[in-house]
Amino acid sequence: MGESRLYKPMAWHNNNWQQLSQRLANEQLPHALLLRGQVGVGKREFAMAFAQYVLCHDKTTGAACGRCRNCQLNQAGTHPDLLLIEPEERGKQIKVAQVRNMIEFTEKTPQQGGFRVVVLCPAEAMNISSANALLKCLEEPGRDTLMLLVSQQVSSLLPTIRSRCQQVLFARPEAEIALEWLKEFVPEQEKARTLLQLAAGEPSTALRYEQDGLLEQCEAMRAGLTGLTRGKVAPAEMALVWQAYDQVVVLEWLGLWLQEMIRYSTTGNDSYLQTVDMAKMLRYIADRAGSRKLLEMLRWLLEQRAIVQSQVTLNKQLLVESVLGRWLALTV
Cα 211 versus chain centre, distance: 15
Instruction: Compute the distance between CA of residue 117 and CA of residue 106 in angstroms, rounded to an integer.
Output: 8
Average pLDDT, the chain: 91
- In percent, the amount of the chain with pLDDT more than 90 equals 69
pLDDT in tens, 145-171: 999 999 988 888 999 999 999 999 998
Q: Where are the domains of the chain?
A: 11-170, 173-212, 213-329
pLDDT in tens, 98-120: 999 999 999 888 888 889 999 99
Residue 285 has what pLDDT? 96
The DSSP secondary-structure symbol of 126 reads B
Distances in whole angstroms, Cα of residue 89 to Cα of each of 86, 94, 140, 184: 8, 9, 29, 28
Helices (H), ranges, the chain: 14-25, 43-55, 69-76, 96-107, 128-139, 159-163, 175-182, 189-198, 203-211, 214-229, 235-242, 247-267, 279-309, 316-329
**How wide is the angle at C-alpha 171 spanned by C-alphas 165 and 175, nearest 5°?**
160
Residue 59 has what pLDDT? 87
Could you count the other beta carbons within 10 Å of the beta carbon of residue 163? 11
pLDDT range class, residue 206, cuts 50, 70, 90: very high
pLDDT in tens, 173-183: 999 999 999 99
Domain 173-212 has CATH 3.40.50: no
Residue 312 has what pLDDT? 65
Decide if pLDDT at 4 tops 70. no
Which region among 135-139, 148-152, 231-235 has the lowest average model confidence (pLDDT)? 135-139
Q: For domain 11-170, give the fold.
A: Rossmann fold (3.40.50)
Average pLDDT of 225-237? 92
End-to-end CA distance of the chain: 55
